[in-house]
Structure 1
Amino acid sequence: MATIHIKPLHGADGYLRWKESVLLRLHTVGVAHVLSDEPPADGAQEAKKWARDDALCRGHILAALSDRLLPVYVRHGTGRALWRAVARTYEPDSFYWELKFEELEFHNDDDETLLERVARAEALAVAASSSPVVSDESVAYKVCTKLPDLAKDAVMHGDWKTMDGVWESAQAMERVRNIMQARLVRQEREDMVCHDQQLEQRHVRKKRR
């Protein structure tokens, strides 16, 4: 079975993609369970299989570390210990994401649709929550604080207290924007055709003279 190519982790940049890629590989080869399950208490055969899976898991994680990081983490003897050690170093906590959310700003000249902005704001709002159970209403409120025009539309025409309501408003606003943009493009084309026709008519009249 071909394994998934993973760019070796070299530092904090790219950790999230690295983490998800490594997890996908571990699940693909069937050894991800050692990261969460406890070793078998009884049975020589089960213990042997666990040891093999754990060694394979640890090896895959080490293979996905850069030459700079390998000596730092190779001392960890199990897949779970190794995985947790890397996470302790690079896994962002809720305070990090809270800061990222506070720094989040959108500008009119950004090459980003409203729906993309909602998705980004929602992701940061959820990550910034320190509670294990994230309130949908609190996320919707935070998203609306970053997108005041969307908040106004949600309050006037929809439900601003849930993310479903916020998304419905955002999708409606995006549809209106797309329709207006399409009309503008069509009008510009019609104006160009009209202009070309006028030039052609002038040219014909000059020839007749």
Structure 2
Amino acid sequence: MASTSSVPAPAPAPGEKPEKFGGSGFKRWQQKMLFYLTTLNLARFLTKDAPTMGEEETDKEKRMAFDAWSQSDFLCRNYILNGLDNTLYNVYCSVKTAKELWSSSEKKYKTEDAGTKKFVVGKFLEFKMVDTKTVISQVQEIQLILHDIIAEGMVVSESFQVAAIIEKLPPLWKDFKNYLKHKRKEMGLEDLIVRLRIEEDNRKSEVKSDKLPMEAKAKLVEPNASKKRKHRK
């Protein structure tokens, strides 16, 4: 009877190598790097300490375990280093273990990410629409700020975005703002932008129609005035 030999499970294929980290977007880069190291079966070295091994240690099993850890930790550490741009590589290349490298970069850049969150939130809160610029262009500015807030991992619902844009409408839009605030049916963001665009176009048309009679009068007055001058001659 033929003996059956167990076939080892194939190792997982490495994930996509993350882009170089240059100092911004740490959280996203860290998640990609963690997944990449996991597919390489090295992620455990991000939290694993070196096995204790004295200089005069003679235990063969301990020595083998230490050598295996050192080799894997060396790979993990260098995968992380190669995921940094040249400037940051030079900063962190002297760090000795993967765990130390991972924790020190996390401590530095997670703090900076928190500062970035406060900055973009402050930028949103301080943003005020003015009457000297078109409302639609200012809405686009607000949307860019909101995009940055969402990119930082903060949840901003669509209903909040709609309410915030309405609240930030400029002084000359006070009546229209009150009209929108008292609407019972909830609006989506696209619906709000369409309404604002229509209202802005209507206001531009009204301004043009107010100017037309004055211009028409001027054109009528000029020929009459020239006739009078000719008659006097």
Which one has a bigger Cα radius of gyration? Answer: 2
Shift of 1:171: 0.8
- Provide the residue aligned with 2:91 in structure 1: 75
Contact 2:166–2:181 (CA<8 Å) still a contact in 1?
no
Contact 2:142–2:165 (CA<8 Å) still a contact in 1?
yes
Task: Tell me which of 180, 184, 198 is aligned to 2:206.
Answer: 180
Shift of 1:116: 1.4
Contact 1:94–1:128 (CA<8 Å) still a contact in 2?
yes
Shift of 1:188: 4.1
- Provide the residue aligned with 1:45 in structure 2: none
Contact 1:126–1:134 (CA<8 Å) still a contact in 2?
no
RMSD over aligned Cα atoms: 4.3
- Provide the residue aligned with 1:58 in structure 2: 85
1:22-53 deviations in Å (ceiling 9; x for gaps): xxxxxxxx9737743425628xxxxxxxx89x
Amino acid aligned to 1:41? L
Contact 1:151–1:160 (CA<8 Å) still a contact in 2?
no
- Partner-residue secondary structure (3-state), 1:32: coil
Shift of 1:98: 2.8
How many residue pairs get aligned? The number is 157
Contact 1:150–1:170 (CA<8 Å) still a contact in 2?
no
- Correspondence 1:107-146 to 2 at 5 A: 107-108=130-131, 110=132, 112-125=133-146, 127=148, 132-146=154-168
- Provide the residue aligned with 1:96 in structure 2: 119
Listed as ranges, the gaps of 5+ residues in structure 2 are 1-16, 22-28, 42-77, 94-101
Listed as ranges, the gaps of 5+ residues in structure 1 are 1-29, 43-50, 63-69
Q: For 2:209 and 2:184, how far apart are their aligned partners in 1? A: 26
Shifted more, 171-180 versus 151-160: the winner is 151-160
Task: Tell me which of 189, 198, 206 is aligned to 2:215.
Answer: 189
Q: For 2:213 and 2:114, how far apart are their aligned partners in 1? A: 51
Amino acid aligned to 2:91? R
Q: How does the TM-score come out when normalised to structure 2?
A: 0.48
Q: For 2:215 and 2:166, how far apart are their aligned partners in 1? A: 37
Could you tell me the percent identity over the aligned residues?
Answer: 10
- Provide the residue aligned with 1:27 in structure 2: none
Task: Tell me which of 202, 206, 209 is aligned to 2:232.
Answer: 206
